[in-house]
C-alpha cells in the first residue's frame, strides 16, 4: 500500500476514534450544566446526583478524548506535512484559539470536580458553564479549520508562494457558519441521545425500586426534551449545510445525492447504489423534484451533476450511502424523541410508565446517534477527496513520504481497540461499584 | 525586536514552561506509582493530589507548544515531523496509555495497582523520548538521499550523546518532581512526606548535574559547531551552575518550620537554573532548527499571521491568567485541599 493510502487510513481511524469521545464530552458537558441549573432551581437532590454521575462519566471519557486529541493534533504535522505548511501560514489562528478553549475546559472541570465542596453553588454553575463553553468552543474552532479546507479563502498563491494572507477571512469562510452550527447541534444531539439511552435502559429494568425509578424518570425527561430540541435543530442546520454545498461545493452535493446529469427538477434519491455506467442511482427510492426544491425552494432550480466535473475530481461514490445513513438517522431520531415527548405529554396526569417499545427505541437511539456522527464526518472528509484543501492541494500532495507507516498504523489501531474495551470496562466497573442507591442514600443522609 | 525573535522568545517560554510542568507531571506520576508499591500511602496520595486535577492542564501546554510551533514556523514543522515521525508516534502512544490509565486507575479501586503501574511507567519514558529528539536535530545524524532526508538511526543508537540525553531527560524529570513534591508536601504540613521527597531530591540533584555536563561533552564530537557556540555563552552556563549550587544547598538551609531545608527556595532556584541553561543551549543552536539547512528565518511565517497570532496570545492570556490564579489558589494553596491527604 502506498504512503498516501496509509496516511489516510491512519489519520481517518484516529479521527474516527477521537470523535467518539470528543463529541460525547461536548454533549455531556452541556447536560451537566443543565442538571446543575435544575438542581439549584428545583432544589432537588436527584439532579445533583445526575450531575455527579454524569461528571464521573465525563471524566473517564476525557481521559481518552484528551490524549487522542493530542494524537490527531500532532499527527497532522506528521502525516500531512504539505498541508500543515499551508495551515501554518493561513489558518493557524483557530488552532491557536482552540488551545485557550481547552484550557478553559480543563481548568474549570478540575475546579468543578476536585473543589466542588469548597466553592459556592453559583460558582458551581459558572464552572459547569465554562466546561460546556470550552467544549463547544473547541468544536467550533476546529470546525473553522475544517470548513476552510472545504471552501478555502484568505490567501493567494503566486508562483507557488502563499501571499496576501488574511487570517480572519480564512477563519470565516462561506461554509463556516452552516457547518459549525450543524457540528454543534449534532454533537449536542448525540450526547443527549446517549444519556437518554442510558436512562431508558435503566427504566426497562422491572426490578427498580420506586426511588430509583423516580430518579431515572427525571433523567429521562430532561434528556428527552433536549434530544428532541437538538434533533429539530440538527435537521435545520443539516438542511442549511446542504444548501451551502449547493452554493459552494456542487461536486460534493452531486456525489452525496448520486446525481450524474445536470438538471432542473432534480429528484431526491434515497439509498441505492450510484452507477456511473447507468448515469443514475440503482435501486434507490426516488422523490421527484425534491432535490431542486430543497436546494432553493424552487423545483426549477438546476442542480449540477457529476458529469459536469472531470472524473478524476469525483469523490468516491459510496459517500452517497454515508450521507443517506446520516440523514435517515436524523429523521428517525427526530421521530423517536418526538413520540417520546408526545407520550410524556399525554400521560402526564396518569403515572403510567413509558411503553417498553418506546424505551427500546430510545436505547437504540444512543448508538445510532454516534453512527450519525461517524458517517457525517467520514462523508465530509471523504467527500472532499481527491482534495485536502479543496481546489488547492490534493491529498497526494499533502501526504508524508516517510516510511514505517504500516507499522505505526498497526500499533495505533491496537491501541484504539484496547482503549475502547478498557473504557467500556472501567465505566461498567465504576458504576457497578458505585450504584445509584449508594449515591441516593449519601445525599439523603446529609 | 525582529518578529522572528519575538516568536522564538515566545516559543522558548512555552517550551520552558512545558519542560517544567511536564517534568513535574510525569515525574509525579512515577513517584505516585513508586510509593503506592512501597506502601507509603501518604507520599502516594500527595503525588495524586497534585496529579489528578493537574494532568489535563499540563497536557494542554504540550498541545500549545505543538500548535504554536506550526503557527509561527510552518516551514519547520513538516520537515521535523517527517523526520521524527517514529519518536513522535512513540511518545504519542505512551502519552495516550499514560493519561488514559491514570484516569482509569482513579475509577477502579480493585485494579488500581496494575493500572497505576502502567501509567507511571509509560509516563516515565515520555520526557526521555522527547529529549532524545534533540541530538537528532542538532546534526550529524541526518542524511540526504534521493532528495529526501533520513535519520541515521544506526549511528544515533551507538552514539553516547543519545544516551546522555535520555539519561538527562529521565533524571531531570524525577529530580524536579521530587523537589516540587517536597515543597508541596511541606505546604500541606506533611512533614514525614516532605522528608521522603527531600531525600530523593538530595540524591538526584548531583546525578542530574552530571548528566547535564555529560550531555554537553558528548555533543562535542557530533556537533563541534555547537560546542563552539557553547564557548561563546560560557558565562551564561556559569550563572546557571551558580543557581544550581545555591538552589541545591537550599535543601540544607535552616528553617524554623521544617527543621532542615527550604524546598520553595530550592525549587525556584533550580527552575531558574534550567531556564538559564536552556537559554544557553537554545541560543547555541541558533539560527538552526535542523543543522545545517533549516534556519529559523526560512521557517518563519508571514507578517499577517504573526500579528494575528500575537493578538490571539494577548487576548487569550488576558482571559486565562485570572483563571490560572484561581486554580492555583484552589489546588496549590488551599489548606483544605492540601491537608486532605491525611484522610
Ligand atoms: C447526529 C448526527 C447527525 C445527524 C442526525 C445529521 N448530521 Fe449532517 N453531519 C453531521 C452529523 C449529523 C456531522 C458529523 O456533524 C457533519 C460531518 C462534518 C460536518 O460538518 O458535520 C455532518 C455533515 C453534513 C453535511 C456535509 C457538510 C460538508 O461536507 O461540509 C451535510 C450536507 C449534512 N450533514 C446534512 C444533514 C442533513 C440534511 C441531515 C438531516 C437531518 C443531517 N445532516 C443529519
Ligand atoms: C469536530 C471534531 C472535534 C470535536 C468536537 C473535538 C472536541 C474536543 C473536545 C471536547 C476535547 C476535550 C477538550 C479538553 O477537555 O481539553 C478535545 C480534545 C482535543 N482535540 Fe478534539 N475535537 C474535534 C476534532 C479535533 C481535531 C481535528 C483535532 C486536531 C487538529 C483535535 C485536537 C484536539 C486536541 C489536541 C485535544 C486535546 C486537548 C487537551 O490537551 O486538553 N480535535 N477535542
Ligand atoms: C471528527 C471527525 C472526523 C472524522 C471521522 C474524519 C475522518 C477522516 C477520514 C476518514 C479521512 C480520510 C479521507 C479519505 O482519504 O477518504 C480524513 C482525512 C482528513 N481529515 Fe478528517 N475527519 C474528521 C474531522 C476532521 C477535522 C475537524 C479536520 C480539520 C481540522 C480534518 C482534517 C482532515 C485532514 C487534514 C485529512 C487528510 C487529508 C485528506 O484526506 O483530505 N478532519 N478525515
DSSP per-residue letters across A35-61: HHHHHHHHT-HHHHHHHHHHHHHHHHH
Closest CA to A182 of A147, A225, A149: A147
Q: Using CB atoms, which residue from B52, B72, B88 is nearest to A78?
A: B88
Binary contact (A401, B59; C-beta < 8 A): no
Residues from chain B contacting residue A10 (CB–CB below 8 Å):
none
| Atom 9 of ligand 3, nearest CA residue | A12
Helix (H) / strand (E) containing B284: helix B263-285
pLDDT digits (tens, 9 = 90+) for B179-194: 998 888 888 778 888 8
Q: A192: pLDDT confidence band, cut at 50, 70 and 90?
A: very high
| Atom 43 of ligand 2, nearest CA residue | A22
Closest CA to B46 of B342, B343, B341: B341
Closest CA to A265 of A294, A298, A289, A235: A289
Average pLDDT over residues B220-226: 76
Closest CA to B198 of B121, B269, B241, B262: B262
Mutation for B interface: A4, A17, A99, most B CBs within 10 A: A99
pLDDT digits (tens, 9 = 90+) for B46-88: 888 888 888 888 899 999 998 888 888 888 877 787 778 888 8
User: For residue B343, what pLDDT is reported?
Assistant: 37
State the closest ligand 3 atom to the C-alpha of A19, by its place in the atom list counted from 1: 1
Cross-strand bridge partners of residue A274 = A281
Cα B116 to Cα B100: distance, rounded to the nearest angstrom: 10
DSSP per-residue letters across A188-246: HHHHHHHHHHHHHHHHT-TT--HHHHHHHHHHHHHHHHHHHHHHHHHHHHHHHHHHHHH
Binary contact (A107, B331; C-beta < 8 A): no
- The residue to which cell 490571539 is assigned: B312
Average pLDDT over residues B31-48: 83
B269 touches B240 (CB < 8 A): no
**3-class secondary structure, B24:** helix
Instruction: Report how many Cβ contacts below 8 Å link chain A to chain B.
Output: 216
Residue to mutate, A7, A14, A15, ligand 3, most ligand atoms under 8 Å from C-beta: A15
Q: Using CB atoms, which residue from A66, A71, A90 is nearest to B92?
A: A71
Mutation for B interface: A70, A72, A405, most B CBs within 10 A: A70
Instruction: Report the predicted TM-score, pTM, of the whole model to 2 decimal places.
Output: 0.90
State the closest ligand 1 atom to the C-alpha of A146, by its place in the atom list counted from 1: 20
pLDDT digits (tens, 9 = 90+) for B94-127: 999 988 888 888 887 777 788 888 888 888 889 8
CA of A18: which chain B residue's CA is closest? B96
pLDDT digits (tens, 9 = 90+) for A346-386: 877 666 777 888 899 999 999 999 999 999 999 999 999 88
Binary contact (A67, B99; C-beta < 8 A): yes
DSSP state of A307: G
In chain A, the N- to C-terminal Cα span, in Å, equals 63
The rounded Å distance from CA A318 to ligand 3 centre is: 16
The rounded Å distance from CA A101 to ligand 2 centre is: 10
**Grid coordinates representing B153?**
538511526
| Atom 25 of ligand 3, nearest CA residue | A146
User: For residue A208, what pLDDT is reported?
Assistant: 82
Q: A413: pLDDT confidence band, cut at 50, 70 and 90?
A: very high
pLDDT digits (tens, 9 = 90+) for A1-39: 688 888 999 999 999 999 999 999 999 999 999 999 988
Binary contact (B100, A63; C-beta < 8 A): yes
Residues from chain B contacting residue A413 (CB–CB below 8 Å):
none
Cα A301 to Cα A239: distance, rounded to the nearest angstrom: 16
The rounded Å distance from CA A244 to ligand 2 centre is: 25
**ipTM for this prediction:** 0.88
User: For residue B342, what pLDDT is reported?
Assistant: 41
| Atom 34 of ligand 2, nearest CA residue | A69
| Atom 37 of ligand 1, nearest CA residue | A238
User: For residue A236, what pLDDT is reported?
Assistant: 93
Average pLDDT over residues B269-288: 84
Q: Percentage of chain B surpassing pLDDT 90?
A: 8
Cross-strand bridge partners of residue A282 = A273
Closest CA to A324 of A262, A358, A371: A371
**3-class secondary structure, B40:** coil
Q: How far from chain centre, in Å, is Cα A235?
A: 14
Amino acid at each position: 500500500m502506498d504512503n498516501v493510502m496509509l496516511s489516510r487510513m491512519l489519520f481517518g481511524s484516529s479521527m474516527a476514534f477521537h470523535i467518539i469521545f470528543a463529541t460525547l464530552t461536548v454533549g455531556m458537558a452541556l447536560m451537566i450544566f443543565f442538571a446543575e441549573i435544575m438542581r439549584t432551581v428545583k432544589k432537588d437532590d436527584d439532579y445533583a446526583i445526575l450531575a455527579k454521575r454524569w461528571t464521573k462519566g465525563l471524566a473517564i471519557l476525557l481521559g481518552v478524548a484528551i490524549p487522542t486529541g493530542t494524537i490527531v493534533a500532532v499527527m497532522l504535522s506528521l502525516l500531512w506535512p504539505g498541508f500543515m505548511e499551508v495551515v501554518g501560514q493561513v489558518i493557524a489562528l483557530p488552532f491557536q484559539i482552540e488551545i485557550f478553549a481547552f484550557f478553559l475546559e480543563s481548568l474549570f472541570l478540575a475546579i468543578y470536580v476536585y473543589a466542588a465542596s469548597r466553592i459556592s453553588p453559583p460558582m458551581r454553575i459558572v464552572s459547569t458553564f465554562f466546561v460546556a463553553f470550552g467544549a463547544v468552543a473547541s468544536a467550533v474552532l476546529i470546525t473553522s479549520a475544517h470548513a476552510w479546507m472545504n471552501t478555502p479563502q484568505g490567501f493567494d498563491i503566486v508562483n507557488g508562494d502563499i501571499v496576501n494572507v488574511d487570517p480572519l477571512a480564512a477563519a470565516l469562510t462561506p461554509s463556516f457558519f452552516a457547518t459549525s452550527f450543524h457540528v454543534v447541534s449534532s454533537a449536542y444531539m448525540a450526547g443527549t441521545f446517549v444519556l437518554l439511552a442510558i436512562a431508558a435502559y435503566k427504566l426497562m429494568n422491572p426490578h427498580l425500586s420506586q426511588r430509583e425509578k423516580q430518579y431515572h424518570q427525571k433523567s429521562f425527561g430532561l434528556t428527552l426534551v433536549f434530544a428532541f430540541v437538538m434533533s429539530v435543530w440538527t435537521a435545520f442546520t443539516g438542511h442549511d449545510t446542504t444548501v451551502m454545498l449547493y452554493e459552494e461545493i456542487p461536486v460534493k452535493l452531486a456525489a452525496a445525492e448520486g446525481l450524474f446529469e445536470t438538471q432542473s427538477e432534480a429528484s431526491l434519491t434515497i439509498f441505492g447504489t450510484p452507477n456511473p455506467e447507468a448515469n443514475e442511482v440503482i435501486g434507490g427510492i426516488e422523490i421527484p423534484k425534491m432535490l431542486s426544491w430543497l436546494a432553493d425552494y424552487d423545483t426549477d432550480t438546476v442542480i449540477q451533476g457529476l458529469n459536469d466535473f472531470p472524473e478524476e475530481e469525483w469523490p468516491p461514490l459510496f459517500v452517497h450511502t454515508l450521507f443517506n445513513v446520516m440523514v435517515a438517522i436524523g429523521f428517525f431520531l427526530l421521530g423517536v424523541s418526538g413520540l417520546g415527548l408526545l407520550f410524556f405529554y399525554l400521560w402526564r396526569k396518569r403515572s403510567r410508565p413509558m411503553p417498553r417499545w418506546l424505551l427500546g427505541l430510545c436505547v437504540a437511539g444512543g448508538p445510532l446517534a454516534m453512527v450519525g456522527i461517524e458517517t457525517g464526518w467520514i462523508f465530509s472528509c471523504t467527500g472532499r477527496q481527491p482534495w485536502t484543501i479543496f481546489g488547492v492541494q490534493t491529498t497526494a500532495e499533502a501526504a508524508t513520504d516517510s516510511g514505517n507507516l504500516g507499522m505505526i498504523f498497526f500499533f495505533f489501531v491496537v491501541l484504539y481497540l484496547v482503549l475502547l474495551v478498557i473504557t467500556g470496562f472501567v465505566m461498567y466497573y465504576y458504576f457497578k461499584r458505585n450504584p445509584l442507591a449508594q449515591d441516593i442514600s449519601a445525599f439523603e443522609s446529609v | 525586536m525582529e518578529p522572528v525573535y519575538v516568536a522564538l522568545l515566545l516559543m522558548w517560554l512555552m517550551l520552558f514552561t512545558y519542560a517544567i510542568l511536564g517534568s513535574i507531571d510525569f515525574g509525579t506520576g512515577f513517584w505516585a506509582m513508586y510509593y503506592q508499591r512501597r506502601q507509603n500511602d501518604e507520599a502516594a496520595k500527595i503525588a495524586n493530589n497534585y496529579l489528578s486535577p493537574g494532568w489535563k492542564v499540563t497536557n494542554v501546554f504540550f498541545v500549545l507548544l505543538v500548535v504554536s510551533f506550526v503557527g509561527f514556523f510552518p516551514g519547520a514543522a513538516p520537515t521535523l515531523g517527517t523526520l521524527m515521525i517514529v519518536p513522535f508516534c512513540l511518545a504519542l502512544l505512551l502519552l495516550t496509555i499514560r493519561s488514559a490509565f491514570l484516569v482509569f486507575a482513579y475509577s477502579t479501586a480493585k485494579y488500581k495497582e496494575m493500572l497505576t503501574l502502567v501509567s507511571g511507567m509509560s509516563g516515565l519514558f515520555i520526557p526521555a523520548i522527547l529529549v532524545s529528539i534533540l541530538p537528532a536535530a542538532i546534526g550529524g545524524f541526518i542524511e540526504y538521499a534521493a532528495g529526501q532526508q533520513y535519520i541515521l538511526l544506526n549511528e544515533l543508537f551507538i552514539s553516547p550523546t543519545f544516551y546522555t540525553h535520555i539519561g538527562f531527560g529521565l533524571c531531570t524529570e524525577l529530580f524536579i518532581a521530587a523537589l516540587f513534591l517536597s515543597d508541596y508536601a511541606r505546604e500541606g504540613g506533611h512533614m514525614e512526606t516532605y522528608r521522603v521527597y527531600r531525600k530523593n531530591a538530595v540524591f538526584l540533584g548531583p546525578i542530574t548535574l552530571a548528566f547535564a555536563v555529560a550531555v554537553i561533552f558528548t555533543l562535542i564530537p557530533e556537533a563541534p559547531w555547537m560546542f563552539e557556540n557553547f564557548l561563546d555563552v560560557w558565562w551564561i552556563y556559569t550563572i546557571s551552575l551558580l543557581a544550581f549550587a545555591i538552589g541545591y544547598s537550599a535543601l540544607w538551609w535552616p528553617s524554623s518550620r521544617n527543621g532542615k531545608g527550604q524546598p520553595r527556595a530550592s525549587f525556584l532556584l533550580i527552575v531558574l537554573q534550567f531556564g538559564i541553561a536552556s537559554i544557553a543551549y537554545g541560543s547555541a543552536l541558533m539560527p538552526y532548527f535542523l543543522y545545517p539547512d533549516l534556519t529559523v528565518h526560512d521557517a518563519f511565517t508571514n507578517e499577517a499571521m504573526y500579528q494575528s497570532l500575537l493578538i490571539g496570545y494577548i487576548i487569550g492570556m488576558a482571559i486565562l491568567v485570572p483563571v490560572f490564579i484561581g486554580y492555583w489558589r484552589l489546588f496549590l494553596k488551599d489548606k483544605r485541599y492540601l491537608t486532605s491527604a491525611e484522610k
